Structure 1
Amino acid sequence: MWSDCTPGCATHALPRVPATRGARRLAAFTHAMRRALTDGERMADPGRLSAHARALMAALGIRREGTADRFTVPAGGPGTLIVVNHISWLDIPALLAVEPVTLLAKREVGGWPVVGGLARRAGTYFIDRGSPRQLPHTVAELTGILASGRSVAVFPQATTWCTAGQGTFRRATFQAALDAGAPVRPVTVDYAQGGHAGTVAAFCGEDTFIASLRRILTARALTVRVTAHPALAGEGRDRRELAALAERAVLGGRVPTGPSPTGPSPTGLLPGEPGVPAPRPAPEPAARHHV
């Protein structure tokens, strides 16, 4: 799956901060990074991992907004499959700052400065996106992780986009949720500057970490909003329908209200989840999704 976004998509929506402020942010970021890396194996502790992620975001001058709730669905059974849109390398510390769940990420993420170390300490499961032969093995491994009770966050777009409303979801990871009987939690990550939509945080195409970091260090009033939508039930659905429901929730910020022809819930939401609307007499027109 390819993104139409390029480094040219990443632009400042507001005037840059003064160079002196950018320099102070860089010093604070370097300090926070060193503290995280020198923590060694202790950084795997969930509380410490979240604290380091929050410290890195604060050092960059990024204010966090949105849900303060955990992503995982409280239960004594399988873990939760957390599906998230992908915009930037910042998505990883933004998620870990809320809840240090296991991540499923492309192999290249492990080599990213700073974020790669955080991801490894979080117990990230790295996969080779360029090897289709590994896909059945990856789905089986993910099924086992979820069945063991561990929750996993995945980026089903498989690539980055400059805004939260673009791209489509690949379906393979949703099969793992179905096989494990795991709930699916759609989560939207979005960035803004001064309350206005912005793309300065985007990390797309042939962009480099250094170039991206420079933009972020000089970004004025940058905020990240992490929104956890109501969890989806997989019972009575196939991976196509489950992926479509999650995609609409994440990319559109809403869950479709049309009844499923086979599912027990008119929205696919888990019983007791907030925001479950009453059944509608007729389904909405089906959304178009790429195969």
Structure 2
Amino acid sequence: MTPATSEPPHPVHTASWAPSSPCGPGCLQDDEAAVSQVRVVVRLIRLVAVLCAAVLVGAVLAVPVLGGPARARWLSACCRAALTAVGVRLRVNGGPYSDGAGVLVVANHMSWIDVLAMAAVEPVRMLAKHEVRDWPVIGPLAARSGALFVDRAGLRALPATVDATAQALRSGSVVGVFPEGTTWCGQAAGPFRRAAFQAAIDAGAQVRPVAFELRRPDGTPDRSSAFVGDQTLWDSLHRVLRLPALICELTVLPAIPAGSAADRRELARMAADAVAAVTGVPHTAQWQQPLGGAAGPVRVEAA
């Protein structure tokens, strides 16, 4: 094993099973060509308008007689509109996620932008941390979209979450999950955790890898819009609102049948490798750096 060039003053992981990322403010670049404050306010007003429309119309479409598909399509359209409102252009390569059967959509995770982008392509039931349920506006929208909430603070509820996810897949749902368990800056990426892949195996469902890349209009990777470290949601949103332009490129990759892998470990590795082939960032390495480090994560090659 190649030793790290620096050692963090405190442990990176609070527990061996708890998802964590060493990415912090040091991974983010400052944008000297930020837009005017007036444009920031205009974008924010547009975003608020989209969220209000999502809540109000979504509530009307929640009436059982109107059916769930219309609500799901509406919320998907709102996700795309929200990206446009904040100055993010969505570029989609490939698709769709599903051919009508249940499918587990798995992707790398850098920002809240990924969540909106995944749902903007087509309706998706997201696997989200349970705290999201209590967030204003976003929580009710997530619940109405059929989100599955998981408690990441403990392992006791994990089997029930896997069972619920498998049941959703059996029913024909498209379930979206970010198996890294937390956000990374894009220069580094975390391993794909295996629990969600067990749900795909139990349901006999396909796994659809999706690769996210955040870029500037000139094609260079963006390193300012990731949602990492001690940032609040508002901090991250404000950084995105100030960018002149941002492209979120989403690549839908060939589906992997759950039965093509020996177990969930191999299935997770196959999906992670497929994503890494597009982004160029491996998900197999370990990374070390304290949050807030100025130089970004330090790579430690696995033996």
Q: Distance in 2 between matches of 1:227 and 1:164?
A: 18
Deviations 1:33-86 (A, max 9, x none): 2211222422761221122111111111111112262212x14xx500111111
Question: 3-state DSSP class of the match of 1:253?
Answer: helix
Structure 1 residues 254 and 60: CA distance shift in structure 2, 3 A: closer
Structure 2 counterpart of 1:48: 74
Report whether the alignment pairs 1:150 with 2:168: no
Structure 1 residues 236 and 252: CA distance shift in structure 2, 3 A: closer
Identity of aligned residues (%): 41
One-letter amino acid matched to 2:84 = A
Equivalent positions of 1:19-168 (< 5 A) are: 19-41=37-59, 42=61, 45-67=71-93, 69-72=95-98, 74-75=99-100, 78-163=101-186, 166-168=189-191
Question: 3-state DSSP class of the match of 1:158?
Answer: coil
Structure 2 counterpart of 1:276: none
Equivalent positions of 1:248-263 (< 5 A) are: 248-253=273-278
Report whether the alignment pairs 1:216 with 2:240: yes
Task: Quote the RMSD (CA, aligned, Å).
Answer: 2.3
Q: Which runs of 4+ in 1 moved over 4 A?
A: 287-291
Structure 1 residues 101 and 245: CA distance shift in structure 2, 3 A: same
Q: Distance in 2 between matches of 1:67 and 1:118?
A: 26
**Which residue of 220, 226, 246 corresponds with 2:271?**
246
Deviations 1:82-103 (A, max 9, x none): 1111111122211111011111
Greater relative contact order (Cα 8 A, min sep 6): structure 1 or 2? 2
Q: Distance in 1 between matches of 2:240 and 2:138?
A: 15
Deviations 1:262-288 (A, max 9, x none): xxxxxxxxxxxxxxxxxxxxxxxxx95
Structure 1 residues 254 and 93: CA distance shift in structure 2, 3 A: closer
- So what's the TM-score if we normalise by structure 2? 0.78
Structure 1 residues 68 and 19: CA distance shift in structure 2, 3 A: farther
Aligned residues of 1:232 and 1:246 also touching (Cα < 8 A) = yes
- So what's the TM-score if we normalise by structure 1? 0.81
Structure 1 counterpart of 2:293: none
Q: Distance in 2 between matches of 1:64 and 1:174?
A: 27
One-letter amino acid matched to 2:245 = A
Report whether the alignment pairs 1:16 with 2:26: no
Q: Distance in 2 between matches of 1:254 and 1:27?
A: 33
Q: Distance in 1 between matches of 2:237 and 2:279?
A: 31
> How many residues of Structure 1 are paired with residues of Structure 2 in the alignment?
257
Q: Distance in 2 between matches of 1:248 and 1:224?
A: 20
Q: Distance in 2 between matches of 1:38 and 1:118?
A: 10
Deviations 1:180-234 (A, max 9, x none): 1100000112211222101222111221011111111111111111111110012
Structure 2 gaps of 5+ residues are: 1-18, 63-67, 287-301
Q: Distance in 2 between matches of 1:236 and 1:221?
A: 40
Structure 1 residues 226 and 254: CA distance shift in structure 2, 3 A: closer
Aligned residues of 1:14 and 1:219 also touching (Cα < 8 A) = no
Structure 1 residues 49 and 66: CA distance shift in structure 2, 3 A: same
